[in-house]
Structure 1
Amino acid sequence: MTEDVPTTSAIREMAKTARGVMAPQCGLAPGLIGIVGADLANRFDRLRDIELRVGALPRYPNGLLGYSFTWSPAGVINEYINDCEVIANGNVKLVPALDGIEVINIEGQEFEAFSTSGGLGTMCETYAGRVDTLNYKTIRYPGHCRLMRFLLYELILKDKRELTEQILTEAKPPVREDVVYVYAVVEGWKNGQLAREEFYRAYHPRRIDGKHWRAISWTTAGSVAAVVEMVADVVLPQQGFLKQEEIPFEAFLNTENGAFFREKAEVEFS
């Protein structure tokens, strides 16, 4: 489930001689968002832009950060500090994390989004030479990025990751009610006409087998479990390195765990 690039590179090297399939990055981002983005991209004859956005947020934010650490603080800090691989003007390059801030309006609610590392997984390699723009950004409530820049760079806490994790975890503990936003936009040409495809979902906590699951927990675990199902059912390759963008979205949704990601009205587990 890692967004860490060196870890994925090490797994990819192992996959060269592995007897089984090696499928890292099959959580939420990287993971589900890459599957969704590739599904949209496959609808075009020629691509121009792929823009992917994911946010795991408290549903009822408080404080200036508007955040809660419902998943690994170490992973969050990793995303906020390491450089981000993108395709810009047709070229694969690295850009700083916490850069490229933009405003997003989702159903009347304003958010910000900015570059964070690792969310694209192997997509830059897959789509190199095929798109002008490919990037991944994390969604947060307005003002979050500015404060994290202050904390990490003006106070230079980027050099003290363990201390930063401790401070943030104690200040912003997990909340029970969270929300995961998944938003993808792809532009390109179909039959000679410029077109745009979008995907948007807001995933909330739910009860599964009588247990309350936070949105970030079930979306991450559900994505991993769906990929495991597909490998077990021989829907996916049985050996070597598996890229998330190679996983068919419809087949993913047709698994027992992937069904959680369909519209809420269609699937309800209690």
Structure 2
Amino acid sequence: MGRTIETVAVFGLGKVGELVALMLVESGFAVKGYDATAREGAAGVEAFDRHQLDVSDEAGIRQALEHVDAVVSCLPYHRNIAVAEAAHATGTHYFDLTEDVPTTQRVIELSQLGSDSTFAPQCGLAPGLIGIVGASIAATFQKIKSIELKVGALPQNPTGLLGYAFNWSAEGVVNEYLNDCEVLRSGHRQMVPAMTEKERVVIGGIELEAALTSGGLGTMCQTYEGRVNRLDYKTMRYPGHFKQMHFLFDELGLRDERELVSRVLQDAKPPVSDDIVYLHAAVEGVKDGLAFRENYVRGYLPTDVGGRRWRAISWTTAASAVAVVELVAEGRLPDTGFVRQEDIALTDLKSTNAGRLFAEAGEPR
């Protein structure tokens, strides 16, 4: 049986979007890339068609989607709703990388309005891969007490008090730091402030700190409410990072100046090439009749894809998203309605062309 998806549009050809497009090509899809500026391919090699598109032009978005089977939005989170609505109107399969809760809620609403296409948002690292890992581990337990999920995208060689570099969208990071977080406590959903409940984490001898941040769980709280006593997502940073962020947002009174803070942070801590992505998932409960805790800890370094060296944050995000597209195209995930990341098996994801990178490049820690 042939694939249900042959041609894919990628909106946003920035830090991750270009690699998403290249990985889709490597996985056998025809790709059309769209960006607000005319970006050239690396070393003059054009692996896919590139087009300029104003993503504030709703008619232009719909026109672009009329000639493809699916779209992967790699745009800033506040641009995704317009793309999702156009995908619904044109019957196009929709995927994105967002961690923004209101955006995902709108995508869920669109999926419930009746459509012949799949809506699979949150296909990045968190939400995305970390939820797939956590749910896959939890599925092996008879009774689940807690699911604790953590991700840290960090420079390998940090400098300064923040110990950070903005290899990911600065505005997305600020959004995660300031929006309240959904968690499960005593089996019930609650909203709690971001950058709280800090804890010490050590991975491979490297000391980190972790604190609650918003959006990383996607739809997991709804899925596991009443089944799991405790569920949360935390972002990992080098020690002292969150103290500095509290100073910035609280003592300097900049919580209402998100755009300004994003610009300042991006200029102060620009991207670096020597990054590392830490992934830490832990499930506690009853397994084989005994109390047990299972940890899944990985450290992902930059790797080569398509003859180029890519940052860890770029390839892990892109590989996760492309793997989900592959699974839908092959009929291993539903081709209509809403797809939750926690319904995707880690073994299935790793069996795809893009997902195999997680088996080949990830080092247990």
Does TM, normalized by the shorter one, top 0.5?
yes
Say whether residues 1:75 and 2:172 are aligned partners: yes
CA distance in 2, matches of 1:225, 1:190: 32
Letter in 2 for 1:147: Q
SS in 2 for 1:217: helix
CA distance in 2, matches of 1:141, 1:110: 7
Deviations 1:30-64 (A, max 9, x none): 00000000000000011001000000000100000
Letter in 2 for 1:35: I
Deviations 1:108-162 (A, max 9, x none): 1110000000000000000000111100000000000010011011111111111
SS in 1 for 2:309: strand
Change (3 A) 1:135 1:265: closer
1:171-186 equivalences in 2 (<5 Å): 171-186=268-283
Letter in 1 for 2:126: A
Unmatched 5+ residue regions in structure 1?
Answer: none
**Residue 6 (structure 1) aligns with:** 102
Match of 1:60 among 148, 152, 157: 157
Equivalenced residues, count: 266
Asked whether the equivalents of residues 108 and 119 of structure 2 are also in contact (C-alpha less than 8 Å), the reply is: yes
Asked whether the equivalents of residues 298 and 362 of structure 2 are also in contact (C-alpha less than 8 Å), the reply is: no
Letter in 2 for 1:5: V
**Residue 36 (structure 2) aligns with:** none
CA distance in 2, matches of 1:155, 1:104: 28
Asked whether the equivalents of residues 286 and 292 of structure 2 are also in contact (C-alpha less than 8 Å), the reply is: yes
CA distance in 1, matches of 2:127, 2:362: 26
1:14-33 equivalences in 2 (<5 Å): 14-16=110-112, 17-33=114-130
Letter in 1 for 2:193: P
Deviations 1:6-28 (A, max 9, x none): 00000000001221000000100
Deviations 1:205-232 (A, max 9, x none): 0111111110000000110000000000
CA distance in 2, matches of 1:36, 1:162: 33
**Residue 251 (structure 1) aligns with:** 348
SS in 2 for 1:229: helix
**Residue 261 (structure 1) aligns with:** 358
CA distance in 2, matches of 1:264, 1:223: 13
Match of 1:241 among 338, 342, 346: 338
**Residue 15 (structure 2) aligns with:** none
Query: How far apart are 1:191 and its partner, in Å?
Result: 3.4
Unmatched 5+ residue regions in structure 2?
Answer: 1-96
Q: Normalized against structure 1, the TM-score is what? A: 0.97
CA distance in 2, matches of 1:18, 1:56: 36
SS in 1 for 2:298: strand
**Residue 90 (structure 1) aligns with:** 187
1:1-270 equivalences in 2 (<5 Å): 1-16=97-112, 17-264=114-361
Q: Which stretch shifts more, 237-246 or 193-202?
A: 193-202
Cα RMSD after superposing both structures: 1.1
| Higher relative contact order (Cα pairs below 8 Å, separated by 6+ residues) | 1
SS in 1 for 2:361: coil
SS in 1 for 2:255: helix
Q: Normalized against structure 2, the TM-score is what? A: 0.72
Runs of 4+ in 1 over 2 A off after TM superposition: 263-266
Query: How far apart are 1:192 and its partner, in Å?
Result: 2.6
Query: How far apart are 1:265 and its partner, in Å?
Result: 8.5
Percent of residue pairs bearing the same amino acid type: 55
CA distance in 2, matches of 1:192, 1:205: 40
Compare CA radii of gyration and give the structure with the larger one: 2
Query: How far apart are 1:196 and its partner, in Å?
Result: 1.3
